Amino acid sequence: MNYPFSLIFIIVALPLLGAALVKRSSGPDHARQIGGVIAGAVLLALAYVLLDVVAQDGGGRVEDPALALGWFGVRPLFGFDALSAVLALTNAITAFAVIVGAPRSRDERPRITTLLATEGLILTMLASLDLVILALAFACLVSPAGAHGPSRREGPDTTRLYRAVFIAGALPLAAAVGLISFANLGSLGPDVFDLRVISMLPHRGASVVLGLLMLTVLVRMALLPLHSWLPAMTQHGPLGPTVLLVASQSGAYLFVRVAFVFFPGDAGGLTTWLTLGGVASALYGGVISLIQDDLRRLIGWLSVSQAGLMIIGLCSLESDGVAGAVVYWTSYGTAVTGLALTVWAVQARTGTTTIAQLGGLVESCPRLTVAFAAFAVASVGFPGSLGFVGEDLLIHGVLDSHPLLGVLMLVATALNGIALIRALFRVFLGPVKIAAPADLRARELWVVAGLAAVVFGLGLWPRLAVDVVGLARLCIHV
Site for other proteins in 240-299 (CB under 8 A): 284, 287-288, 290-292
- Is 319 a binder of other proteins (CB under 8 A)? yes
**C-beta of residue 341 within 8 angstroms of C-beta of residue 363:** no
Query: Which one of the spans 181-189, 198-206, 318-326, 331-339 is the region binding other proteins (CB under 8 A)?
Result: 318-326
Task: List the interface residues with other proteins, window 197-226 (CB under 8 A).
Answer: none
Could you tell me the smallest distance in angstroms from the CB atom of residue 464 to other proteins? 9
- Which member of 103, 190, 211, 457 binds other proteins (CB under 8 A)? 103
What CA–CA distances, in Å, run from 361 to 235, 295, 357, 427, 448? Answer: 21, 14, 11, 7, 18
Please give the size of the binding site for other proteins, defined by CB under 8 A.
Answer: 86
Could you tell me the smallest distance in angstroms from the CB atom of residue 148 to other proteins? 11
- Indicate the DSSP class of residue 190: G
Query: Which one of the spans 91-99, 196-204, 262-270, 396-404 is the region binding other proteins (CB under 8 A)?
Result: 396-404
Could you tell me the smallest distance in angstroms from the CB atom of residue 120 to other proteins? 23
- Is 36 a binder of other proteins (CB under 8 A)? no
Could you tell me the smallest distance in angstroms from the CB atom of residue 323 to other proteins? 4
**Omega prior to 225 cis, within 30 of 0:** yes
Length of the chain, please? 478
Residue among 285, 299, 310, 293 at smallest CA distance from 341: 299
Q: How far apart are CA 391 and CA 20, in angstroms?
A: 40
Could you tell me the smallest distance in angstroms from the CB atom of residue 373 to other proteins? 9
State residue 130 phi and psi, 5-degree precision: -120, 135
State residue 249 phi and psi, 5-degree precision: 45, 60
Task: List the interface residues with other proteins, window 343-382 (CB under 8 A).
Answer: 344, 347-349, 351-353, 360, 362, 366-367, 370, 377, 382
Q: How far apart are CA 67 and CA 64, in angstroms?
A: 9
Nearer to other proteins, 15 or 285 (CB): 285
- Does an H or E element contain 79, and which? strand 79-80
**Omega prior to 150 cis, within 30 of 0:** yes
- Is 229 a binder of other proteins (CB under 8 A)? yes
Residues 6+ apart with CB under 8 A from 46: 11, 85, 88, 89, 92
Nearer to other proteins, 131 or 314 (CB): 314
**C-beta of residue 247 within 8 angstroms of C-beta of residue 336:** yes
- Is 15 a binder of other proteins (CB under 8 A)? no
Residue among 183, 191, 328 at smallest CA distance from 249: 328
Task: List the interface residues with other proteins, window 428-457 (CB under 8 A).
Answer: 429-432, 437-438, 441, 443-444
- Is 232 a binder of other proteins (CB under 8 A)? yes
- Does an H or E element contain 74, and which? strand 74-75
Binding mask 48-77 for other proteins (x = CB under 8 A): ------------------------------
Quote the crossing angle between the two packed helices 270-289 and 295-316, to the nearest 10°: 150
Nearer to other proteins, 265 or 383 (CB): 383
Nearer to other proteins, 201 or 443 (CB): 443
Query: Which one of the spans 42-50, 254-262, 305-313, 393-401 is the region binding other proteins (CB under 8 A)?
Result: 393-401
Nearer to other proteins, 80 or 229 (CB): 229
Task: List the interface residues with other proteins, window 409-428 (CB under 8 A).
Answer: 410-411, 414, 417-418, 421-422, 425-426
